[in-house]
């Protein structure tokens, strides 16, 4: 019987194939008594399992292909860190002794305790790290039971591309394994848009869906599936007509992607001659190759905080300098806008620091200004890298004039220290601010007077304007880029900046949404920075747009308030 399951599409496109259910050992384990006289032996059995998993991770690391997305290495790091943390690798030994129980039960108790601690965390990103802890614990559990990790089914190599992996949850380690195989798609019961699974899915560019909730229960092994990653729907056991329709859609999608590749070297100019810069958002230096391959004319947002995540120490000045220099050099004089670290809120390094309202707390520049020494270390590294390419410094979350002044003072301090040493840097380096707090948007004048350029962070600007936690699934439906307040703020920021001749870019997810490309163009936006996978799609829209014809309708949209009318007008704009 045919039916559909809905989830969150995290990577677009259509996949058609047979289900392969991936099973995990799970943490439902029996308890049995271990007398004190045998506790040492039981602890040794536990230690051996930890050692085995350590070796598995080393093996996985060695097997990562050079072409694999950079995030995969970072995820293995994170899982190794979790494994090596004493709360997982040592604490269960004590439980074996105090509870007189077997190693599996001790591991289960400890994992439950850790998971409960994660559940108390308000911050969505950190809460999702709970899944990483469970995944690592599951690996140890498998090692204890003598059951090796996930092993792909024996298949003829050419049949793999017809397989759709159906999992309760996937760990980055699992993803490495199926990266070497050629699964058509994967769908999972758990995960949110910021989960590791979603991040890797986007970088692998295969249609994928998360948060199906009961996919593993409802789908049977080998059942025929259609995965529509664009709208987040799985069609189970489709009838012939639906299948034929999706086969056609899949062919069209693949053809479209092939055609898009031909646009890589075309300049992004509208039909009436308005040039547009299409730049890439990256998280790690290794992403540059893909950005260039998709025709990016610069890096509009390098989220430097990813260099600080998934590790227990801090990258020192030299390590940061090497990372920034590599991006600057690899981009060969194209602009590289590096954002100073935006830690806190959904990107937390210090898991001990739990606040009730992290998105409104000590985050981004607020955090930097409380730890000037750490911040100046980054600023020195950025300045040093500016000698090797066209580096711009971007400051996140600025809201007040005092913050801007203090930041500029610290940049001056970093410059003076380099001057004293005679270390070269670009003396014309540009310093910009992200406009992602409504206060900044409404008091734009002070940003324009004090800074060289602006970059609109719509992910946060929408979060703060509409009071919607961007990491909270339960209010995700209220997150609306077309809300009149958002549209009017955006149009006004762009207009004010253009009038003052201060360059303004937009680097939130809106920049990569083709449905909004023309609207932003009509508002006067000339610089977009987006996820690499969207660059060519947006370029295609720009090439087919006529700026002068768009403007009147876009102005009309600014006066509309009815959501249905707004959507209708947007459709008209995109027709």
Residues that bind Mg ion in the complex, under the rule CB under 5 A: 436, 457, 460
Cα gap 102→87, rounded to integer Å = 17
The tokens 């049949």 sit on which residue?
A: 159
Query: What is the closest distance, in whole angstroms, from the C-beta atom of residue 460 to ligand PEP in the complex?
Result: 3
Nearer to Mg ion, 50 or 398 (CB): 398
- Residues 379-418 as x/- pattern, contact with ligand PEP by CB under 6 A: ----------------------------------------
Residue 295 interacts with ligand PEP (CB under 6 A)? no
| Beta strand ranges found along 386-540 (DSSP E) | 390-395, 430-435, 453-456, 504-506, 527-531
- 507 φ, ψ (degrees, to nearest 5): -125, 10
Ranges of H-type helices in 8-157? 39-62, 70-84, 86-89, 91-99, 103-119, 124-144
Tell me if 279 contacts ligand PEP by CB under 6 A.
no
Give least dist CB 397 to Mg ion, A: 7
Q: CA 287 → CA 67, 339, 409, 531, distances in Å?
A: 11, 15, 32, 10
The answer to whether residue 196 is catalytic is yes
Q: Per rule CB under 6 A, is residue 56 in the interface with ligand PEP?
A: no
Question: Pairing state of beta strands 233-236 and 224-228?
Answer: antiparallel
What SS3 class is residue 226?
A: strand
The residue annotated as part of the active site, out of 20, 196, 483, 534, is: 196
* Site stretch for ligand PEP (CB under 6 A), options 96-104, 192-200, 451-459, 483-491: 451-459
Q: In the complex with ligand PEP, which residue's Cβ is closer, 215 or 300?
A: 300
Least distance to ligand PEP from the beta carbon of 41, Å?
A: 49
Among the listed residues 507, 521, 530, 569, the single contact to ligand PEP using CB under 6 A: 507
Q: Should residue 283 be labelled a site residue for ligand PEP when binding is judged by CB under 6 A?
A: no
The site for ligand PEP, by CB under 6 A, has a size of 10
CB count, 10 Å around CB of 442? 12
Nearest C-alpha neighbor of 480 from the set 494, 459, 506: 459
Spatial contact of 374 and 414, defined as CB atoms under 8 Å apart: no
Nearer to ligand PEP, 303 or 384 (CB): 303
Shorter beta-carbon distance to ligand PEP: residue 250 or 458: 458
387 is known as an active-site residue? no
- Judged by CB, which is closer to ligand PEP: 438, or 508? 508
Angle at 110 between CA 105 and CA 113, to 5 degrees: 125
Q: How many helices (DSSP H) and strands (DSSP E) are in the chain?
A: 23, 16
Q: Is 342 in the site for ligand PEP (CB under 6 A)?
A: yes
303 interface partner picked from Mg ion, ligand PEP, none, CB below 5 to 8 A per type: ligand PEP
**Min CB(169)–ligand PEP separation in Å:** 24
Angle at 27 between CA 22 and CA 30, to 5 degrees: 125
Contact between 194 and ligand PEP (CB under 6 A)?
A: no
In angstroms, what CA-CA distances link 116 with 79, 120, 127, 155, 345? 19, 7, 10, 39, 20
Contact flag: residue 508 with ligand PEP (CB under 6 A): yes
For 140, residues 6+ apart whose C-beta sits below 8 A from its C-beta are: 49, 50, 53, 83, 88, 107
Which of 24, 79, 368, 507 does the annotation list as catalytic? 507
Our finding on whether 512 is near ligand PEP (CB under 6 A) is no
Q: Which does 508 bind (CB under 5 to 8 A by kind): Mg ion, ligand PEP, none?
A: ligand PEP
- Catalytic residue numbers? 196, 507
Residues of this chain that interact with ligand PEP (CB under 6 A) are 301, 303, 342, 436, 457-460, 507-508
């Amino acid at each position: 019987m045919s039916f559909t399951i809905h989830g969150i599409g995290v990577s677009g496109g259509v996949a058609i194939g047979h289900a392969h259910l991936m099973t995990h050992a799970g943490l439902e384990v029996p308890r049995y008594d271990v007398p004190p006289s045998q506790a040492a032996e039981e602890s040794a059995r536990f230690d051996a399992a930890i050692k085995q998993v350590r070796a598995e991770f080393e093996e996985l690391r060695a097997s990562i292909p050079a072409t694999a997305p950079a995030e995969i290495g970072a995820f293995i790091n994170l899982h190794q860190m979790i494994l090596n943390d004493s709360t997982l690798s040592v604490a269960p030994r004590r439980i074996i002794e105090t509870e007189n129980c077997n190693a599996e039960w001790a591991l289960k108790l400890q994992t439950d305790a850790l998971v409960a601690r994660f559940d108390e965390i308000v911050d969505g990103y950190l809460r999702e790290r709970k899944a990483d802890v469970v995944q690592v614990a599951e690996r140890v559990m498998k090692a204890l039971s003598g059951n090796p990790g996930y092993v792909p089914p024996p298949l003829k190599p050419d049949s793999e591309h017809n397989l759709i992996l159906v999992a309760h949850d996937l760990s980055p380690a699992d993803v490495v394994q199926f990266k070497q195989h050629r699964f058509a798609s994967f769908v999972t019961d758990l995960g949110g848009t910021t989960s590791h699974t979603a991040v890797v899915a986007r970088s692998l560019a295969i249609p994928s869906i998360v948060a199906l909730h009961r996919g593993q229960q409802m789908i049977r092994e080998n059942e025929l599936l259609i995965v529509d990653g664009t709208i987040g729907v799985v069609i189970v056991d489709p009838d012939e007509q639906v299948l034929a329709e999706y086969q056609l859609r899949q062919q069209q999608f693949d053809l479209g992607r092939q055609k898009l590749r031909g646009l890589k070297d075309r300049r992004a100019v509208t039909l009436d001659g308005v040039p547009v810069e299409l730049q890439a958002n990256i998280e790690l230096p290794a992403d540059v190759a893909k950005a260039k391959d998709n025709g990016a004319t610069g890096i509009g947002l390098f989220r430097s905080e990813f260099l600080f995540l998934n590790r227990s120490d801090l990258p020192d000045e030299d390590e940061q300098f090497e990372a920034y220099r590599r991006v600057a050099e690899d981009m060969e004089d194209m602009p590289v806008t590096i954002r100073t670290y935006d830690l806190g809120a959904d990107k937390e390094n210090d898991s001990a620091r739990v606040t009730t309202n992290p998105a409104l707390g000590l985050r981004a520049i607020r955090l930097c200004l409380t730890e000037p020494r750490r911040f100046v270390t980054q600023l020195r590294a950025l300045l040093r890298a500016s000698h090797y390419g066209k580096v711009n410094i971007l400051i996140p979350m600025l809201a007040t004039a005092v913050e801007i002044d203090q930041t500029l003072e610290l940049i001056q301090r970093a410059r003076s220290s380099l001057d004293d040493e005679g270390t070269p840097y670009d003396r014309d380096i540009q310093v910009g601010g992200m406009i992602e707090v409504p206060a900044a948007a409404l008091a734009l004048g002070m940003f324009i007077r004090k800074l060289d350029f602006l970059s609109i962070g719509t992910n946060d600007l929408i979060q703060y304007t509409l009071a919607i936690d961007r990491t909270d699934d339960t209010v995700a439906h209220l997150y609306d880029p077309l809300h009149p307040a958002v549209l009017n703020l955006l149009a006004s920021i762009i207009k004010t900046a253009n009038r003052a001749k201060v360059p303004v870019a937009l680097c939130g997810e809106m920049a990569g949404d083709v449905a909004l490309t023309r609207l932003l163009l009509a508002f006067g936006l000339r610089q977009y920075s987006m996820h690499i996978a969207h660059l060519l799609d947006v370029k295609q829209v720009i090439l087919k747009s006529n700026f002068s014809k768009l403007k009147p309708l876009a102005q009309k949209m600014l006066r509309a308030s009815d959501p249905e009318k707004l959507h209708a007008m947007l459709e008209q704009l995109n027709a």
